């Protein structure tokens, strides 16, 4: 499966004076993680921000041209610096060539057609800059058309005459028209023009209005229209666009899956892509407890292994029989370097304090193999689930403490291997 994300705002900080490293950073998107996740391509947006966003940072708004120069400069500087990992792509052939070379394809896009300054020459300048996708509008009216709105009259507004002219020119030049943020009236103008020119168009970061009644989302009829034109839709991760409650601030995986399934059922697999809107959306991203707890176990086990070093002088073995009210738990560890895990604990409920009790086993399993230790855990008896969990964690801590103590009588590592 080729994973392509059609929208991120990672470049945006550059316009506010940030130095952004696209290979590794503290944002949501970088080359290192895209490579690890197996992504084929990432679209990097240049969003033209309003004056108030600069005033809020105590800055004077630069011209749109200077702002785009700053963002595109960061884009190309990083592609040059990290040419072993990523490369520019302007079309399908570029992407396929980059894929063969093991590189992530990076597309440059403009989120707001106002950057063309109302002229064909402005569109040509964008093309020369390397832009191959343009969002017709952002959140404000511009020279091309009108944004989506909860006001039915505004939502019905069509493209402006110059907007129709621009879509036609973009079709000829090989620049993809993006209808995310566009009014419904403008959307159907784009459909008409692209059908006449036999060209696809996209919604780079939009979801399903049938599931979440937000004006930014697409009706089923719109999804089918994009699919019929050979276009694609990037599923947006923003909570307000995927949650049943448009005022939600938490993006949930279940909601993402619901929208993906609906999009598949309405438009088919060929029209589906990702459009996470990462580094642009606000709110929390839900991460399921299984991967979080397991990853913590792996990290803790790795840290223990590194801290033990060559284990010279350590007693190696440790155990603890620990009472917790009516509960009694046993833990024994061997730091000999051979991972093995034995676990015997049962619980009355499915969760305790918000944690899935099944994850206790996964947590200690991850520790034992990451730390290369033999770990045995057993709840001998007990009734209260909280007491059982607490007893196991404390017994493990005490057993590990015992196993890592030094004994002056031990010379080197406590083992007879290689002595006979």
Q: Rounded to the nearest 5°, which phi and psi values hold at 243?
A: -80, 150
Question: What is 289-403's CATH number, 3.30.230.40, 3.60.15.10, 2.60.98.20, 2.20.25.90?
Answer: 3.30.230.40
Own/partner pairs, 338-341, CB within 8 angstroms, 24+ separation = 338/372, 338/374, 339/368, 339/369, 339/371, 339/372, 339/373, 339/374, 340/368, 340/374, 340/375, 341/365, 341/368, 341/369, 341/374, 341/375, 341/376
pLDDT one digit per residue (tens) for the chain, 420 residues: 689 999 999 999 998 888 999 999 989 999 999 998 999 999 999 998 988 989 888 999 999 999 999 999 999 999 999 999 999 999 999 999 999 999 999 999 999 999 999 999 999 999 999 999 999 999 999 999 999 999 999 999 999 999 999 999 999 999 999 999 999 999 999 999 999 999 999 999 999 999 999 999 999 999 999 999 999 999 999 999 999 999 888 888 889 999 999 999 999 999 999 999 999 988 777 766 777 888 899 999 999 999 999 888 899 999 999 999 999 999 999 998 999 999 999 999 988 987 889 999 999 999 999 999 999 999 999 999 999 999 999 999 999 999 999 888 877 766 655 444
Question: What is 3-285's CATH number, 3.65.10.10, 3.30.70.141, 3.20.20.140, 3.30.710.10?
Answer: 3.20.20.140
pLDDT for position 419: 46
Would you kindly state where each structural domain of the chain is located, as residue ranges?
A: 3-285, 289-403
As a whole number of angstroms, the distance between CA 92 and CA 316 comes to: 58
Asked if 328 and 380 count as a contact pair (C-beta separation under 8 A), the reply is yes
Task: Give this prediction's pTM.
Answer: 0.73
Q: Rounded to the nearest 5°, which phi and psi values hold at 376?
A: -120, 130
pLDDT for position 140: 94
Nearest to 57 by CA among 49, 66, 46: 49
């Amino acid at each position: 499966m080729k994973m392509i994300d059609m929208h991120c705002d990672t470049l945006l900080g550059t316009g506010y004076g940030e130095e952004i490293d696209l290979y590794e950073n503290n944002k949501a998107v970088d080359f290192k993680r895209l490579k690890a996740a197996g992504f084929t391509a990432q679209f990097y947006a240049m969003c033209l921000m309003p004056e108030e966003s600069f005033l809020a940072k105590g800055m004077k708004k630069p011209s749109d041209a200077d702002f785009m120069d700053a963002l595109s400069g960061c884009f190309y500087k990083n592609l040059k610096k990290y040419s072993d990992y990523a490369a520019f792509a302007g079309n399908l052939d570029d992407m396929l060539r980059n894929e063969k070379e093991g590189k992530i394809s990076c597309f440059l896009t403009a989120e707001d057609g106002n950057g063309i300054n109302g002229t064909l020459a402005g569109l040509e300048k964008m093309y020369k800059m390397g832009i191959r996708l343009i969002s017709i509008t952002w959140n404000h009216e511009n020279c091309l058309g009108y944004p989506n709105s909860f006001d039915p009259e505004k939502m019905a507004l069509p493209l402006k005459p110059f907007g129709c002219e621009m879509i036609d020119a973009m079709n000829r030049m090989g620049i993809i028209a993006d209808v995310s943020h566009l009014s419904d009236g403008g959307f159907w103008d784009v459909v008409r023009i692209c059908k006449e020119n036999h060209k696809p168009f996209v919604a780079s970061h939009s979801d399903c209005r049938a599931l979440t009644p937000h004006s930014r989302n697409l009706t089923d009829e719109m999804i089918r229209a994009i699919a019929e034109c050979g276009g694609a839709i990037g599923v947006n991760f923003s909570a307000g666009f995927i949650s049943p409650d448009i005022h939600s601030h938490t993006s949930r995986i279940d909601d993402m899956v619901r929208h993906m399934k609906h999009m598949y059922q309405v438009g088919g697999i060929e029209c589906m892509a990702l459009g996470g809107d990462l580094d642009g959306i606000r709110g929390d991203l839900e991460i399921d407890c299984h991967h979080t707890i397991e990853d913590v176990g792996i990290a803790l086990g790795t840290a223990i292994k590194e801290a033990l070093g060559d284990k010279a002088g350590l007693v190696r073995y440790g155990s603890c029989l620990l009472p917790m009210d009516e509960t009694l738990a046993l833990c024994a560890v061997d730091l000999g370097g051979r991972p093995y895990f034995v676990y015997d604990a049962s619980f009355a409920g499915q969760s305790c304090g918000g944690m899935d009790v099944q994850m206790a086993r996964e947590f200690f399993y991850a520790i034992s193999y990451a730390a290369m230790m033999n770990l045995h855990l057993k709840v001998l008896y007990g009734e209260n689930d909280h007491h059982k969990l607490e007893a196991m964690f404390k017994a493990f801590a005490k057993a590990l403490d015992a196993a890592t103590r030094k004994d002056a009588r031990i010379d080197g590592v406590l083992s007879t291997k290689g002595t006979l």
